[in-house]
Amino acid sequence: GGRVVLGGPPRLPALPLIGSLLSLRSPLPPHRLFQDLQRKYGPTFSLMLGPHRVLVVNHHRHAREVLLKKGRAFAGRPRTVTTDVLTRDGKDIAFGDYSATWRFHRKIVHGALSMFGEGSASIEKIICAEASALCGVLSQSSCLDLSPELTRAVTNVVCWLCFSCSYSRGDPEFEAMLRYSQGIVDTVAKDGLVDIFPWLQVFPNADLRRLRQCVSVRDRLLQDKYLQHQVQDYSDHVQRDLLDALLRAKRSAENHNTAECVDLSEDHLLMTVGDIFGAGVETTTTVLKWAVTYLVHHPQVQRRIQDELDRRIGGDRAPRLSDRGSLPYLEATIREVLRIRPVAPLFIPHVALTDTSIGDFTVRKGTRVVINLWSLHHDEEEWTDPERFDPGRFLNSDGSGVTVPSPSYLPFGAGVRVCLGEALAKMELFLFLSWILQRFHLSVPPGHPLPSLEGKFGVVLQPARYQVNATPRAGWDHASPPHGQ
């Protein structure tokens, strides 16, 4: 007979105060550990982190139920010490709890981003200018660590988007920003214990102190940009960037005296811009770094992309967004990078806003739900030999177009809290990679080992740093840019 009464999912052992921490001691990063625990507990199980019950979801069926079918029920966000420091008590979009304020903010940002959206020439121009500068740097040095170069290129795209300004190499403000981003990433990655036991906050915690310092540097920087924008009396017709869009929404709310103007405090605006910085730079840069890492490991994939570029675009013009449809192998490669090394192997936790269920399991209001994207993307039932890098998985049978071969693929999440930057990220990945690969062959310097594919788990799954050789391809070894640009 079928079970009529719903029960909770299988549980890891738990002790008072520390919860299931003892079962979680492991050299493995959490996403790999959770993937392994499935063998013993099944694809959805629960554990206690301190006082909090956490559900870990490792299978696409349950993941889609949480994100899509019951998206509203699971749209909450937990408040943690770390994210409170980061966002001035949850006043942003990524970590803010589901509320009217949050929906309103998301709407404005969504509108502002779509003004730069898919079809917009301005964002394409910005990305191509950065791609061009990046290729300039590559052509000047035979061997370099691409990490800071990619970070600067992506940061500049986001800077243009938010504030209409960009940074050149060695700019002190840019260096300061790099340091604070790194600081935030390192700290939030390690945040573990303070978030599980908020009372540890009273003890001097070097990490939390560093986070507070980094955040105050960031806030000062955002504040400066904000003031510059208020001073430059912008006309309501020219919307230069995201900050203009937010300021305009704020003014219009104040003029019409709507309830929403309360929620558009300077704090909220700055946190939202801070979000787009935090989310927009670290993630896209990391995907680019993984792409380069895998291309260096798989020269045959690189060559195939280059053949496609030579055939479809040739050597006398740069790639454009409108070429996306005619470069399926490059597109498939980007999808495979997002599958094999998802930037966020564990999604930001969701919180159940009501009593609800997942599959046959009851879920109490307040339960935290963590979706393990790593498990979805490495599920052997769905992906043959999941650790093998194979862009071909995403090509249709005759190789003329891209497909998604499995429902177990959610690199940008789904539902109410789907990634806001998906379109922008895809544009950047496509343009940066096509520009670089059209002009250069990437390899490891002679005598150097291939970079590790392990990845360091933090806010994002970071590849190791390593030196790369960018050799100009035949016909690209002259300094002049291609004609017809």
Q: Which residues are annotated as a binding site?
A: 419
DSSP string, 236-292: TT---SHHHHHHHHHHHHHHTT-GGGGGG-HHHHHHHHHHHHHHHHHHHHHHHHHHH
Q: Could you tell me the two tokens for 470? A: 């960018």
DSSP state of 467: E
Which residues does the annotation place in the binding site for heme?
419
On whether the CB atoms of residues 288 and 429 are closer than 8 A, the answer is: yes
d(CA 305, CA 383): 23
d(CA 240, CA 149): 26
d(CA 90, CA 79): 7
Q: Radius of gyration of the chain from Cα atoms?
A: 23
DSSP state of 393: G
d(CA 353, CA 330): 41
Q: How far is the CA of 394 from the CAs of 334, 379, 397, in angstroms?
A: 10, 16, 10
Q: List Cβ neighbours of 324 (8 Å cut-off, separation of 6 or more).
A: 331, 430
**Cα dihedral 187/193/198/201 (nearest 10):** -60
Torsion sign (Cα): 41, 68, 364, 104: positive
On whether the CB atoms of residues 393 and 405 are closer than 8 A, the answer is: yes
Q: Where are the beta strands (DSSP E) in 139-260?
A: 143-145
SS3 472: strand
Report the first-to-last Cα separation within the chain, whole angstroms.
69
d(CA 317, CA 482): 6
Query: Can you tell me which residue has the tokens 């013993």?
Result: 40
Q: Could you tell me the two tokens for 375? A: 């498990």
Q: Could you tell me the two tokens for 60? A: 């696409």
